[in-house]
Amino acid sequence: MFSRQPAPLLGLDISSSSVKLVELGRDKSGNLVLERCAIEPLERGWITDGNVEKFDEVAEAVRRLVKKSGAKTKNVAMALPPSAVITKRIVLPGGLTDQELEAQVEAEANQYIPFPLDEVSLDFCVIGPSSSSIGDLDVLIAASRREKVQDIQGLAEAAGLKPVVVDVESYASRLATSRLIESLPNKGVGTIVALFEVGALTTSMQVIRDDEVLYDRDQAFGGAQLTQLIVRQYGFSPEEAESKKRSGELPDDYESSVLRPFVESWFRRSAVRCSSSSPARPITRSITSCWRGALRRCRGLLWR
């Protein structure tokens, strides 16, 4: 009864095709459980390239989402796409006070950020003792145009939520993935893991080993292209193609004629880019966040 639980927090994902909400809790043994989740579609063009083009419409969709999810918690964590955030790892002297550290971060940030600092939301975190110079600290700085942060905060507030965290999408998914990696043999230590996230317009791939990111790239490629291929192959309207794709009501040759070549060409492209930019060791695990039907087919293909 008196056990201290962390304050509940919702996760809100604002993407090009939908807004999604999750609420996690813990069971009696402390394992994470999914308490609530909900999704609300967005019309095409409301969000493009991470920009909120139709604020009122998206805010209304977030409001519907919160209502239908039944979430009672107001605190919410959100994230910006990596394209909207500049991150840089810098080295600063150890032993500074918090104020000195802040002043140093601002001075350093000036060099890397192509906007005036008063138009920017700037944050930093101390990663730990520097690996390259004894006594110094490795510090991660993150900066985004203030209007981008204000846009997503405003959307949450318009739906009655209280934004408490604005993360970077790729950092948030890495953190979530680290929980899965911990369940691998030997807690995944030293294992090279590829994380694929397939969205409607953007697919991201990250290759991770322990806490190190070996490769991290977004591609303008995703489920919307598969819908276009279905339109072209069978002559459906885009809406019909999207809904048939989701429900699986497609002609018998769909898998061999459309889906398989699509998944293969996408994986080849990703693998070629990755191996040409980081000829490291082979990927030994993959974790894929995408639609279930395609997911089954994605496995196996990776290892060719």
User: Which residues sit at the interface with ligand ATP, rule CB under 6 A?
Assistant: 15-18, 199-202, 222-224, 227, 242, 245-246, 291, 293-294
CB of 249 to ligand ATP, least distance (A): 11
Nearer to Mg ion, 18 or 153 (CB): 18
CB of 13 to Mg ion, least distance (A): 6
Answer whether 258's CB lies under 8 Å from 226's CB: yes
> Of the candidates 8, 15, 54, 117, which one interacts with Mg ion according to CB under 5 A?
15
Taking CB within 5 to 8 Å according to partner kind, which of Mg ion, ligand ATP, none is near residue 85? none
**Rounded Cα distance, 127 and 179, in Å:** 19
Residue with the CB atom nearest Mg ion in the bound state: 15
Answer whether 85's CB lies under 8 Å from 124's CB: no
Q: Which residues of 275-285 are buried (b: 16+ CB within 10 A; e: fewer)?
A: eeeeeeeebee
Residue 199 in the binding site for Mg ion (CB under 5 A): yes
User: Phi and psi at residue 195, in whole multiples of 5°?
Assistant: -110, 120
CB of 39 to ligand ATP, least distance (A): 7
Answer whether 93's CB lies under 8 Å from 105's CB: no
Taking CB within 5 to 8 Å according to partner kind, which of ligand ATP, Mg ion, none is near residue 294? ligand ATP
Taking CB within 5 to 8 Å according to partner kind, which of Mg ion, ligand ATP, none is near residue 291? ligand ATP
Tokens linked to 123:
């944050």
CB of 42 to Mg ion, least distance (A): 11
CB of 73 to ligand ATP, least distance (A): 22
Nearer to ligand ATP, 43 or 102 (CB): 43
The DSSP bridge pattern shows strands 212-219 and 18-26 to be: unpaired
Answer whether 252's CB lies under 8 Å from 233's CB: no
Site size for Mg ion, by CB under 5 A?
2
Sheet of 212-219, strand order = 212-219, 203-209, 192-198, 285-289
Residue with the CB atom nearest ligand ATP in the bound state: 223
Residue 225 in the binding site for Mg ion (CB under 5 A): no
Contacts by residues 19-24 (CB-CB < 8 Å, ≥ 24 positions apart): 19/58, 19/61, 19/62, 19/65, 20/65, 21/65, 21/66, 21/69, 21/71, 23/69, 23/71, 23/73
Q: How many CB atoms lie within 10 A of CB 261?
A: 11
Nearer to Mg ion, 188 or 199 (CB): 199
Nearer to Mg ion, 117 or 290 (CB): 290
Taking CB within 5 to 8 Å according to partner kind, which of Mg ion, ligand ATP, none is near residue 17? ligand ATP
Which stretch, 9-17, 121-129, 279-287, 296-304, contacts Mg ion (CB under 5 A)? 9-17
Taking CB within 5 to 8 Å according to partner kind, which of ligand ATP, Mg ion, none is near residue 201? ligand ATP
**Rounded Cα distance, 204 and 173, in Å:** 10
Residue 18 in the binding site for Mg ion (CB under 5 A): no
Nearer to ligand ATP, 112 or 291 (CB): 291
Which stretch, 4-12, 187-195, 196-204, 239-247, contacts Mg ion (CB under 5 A)? 196-204
Could you list the residues that contact Mg ion (CB under 5 A)?
15, 199
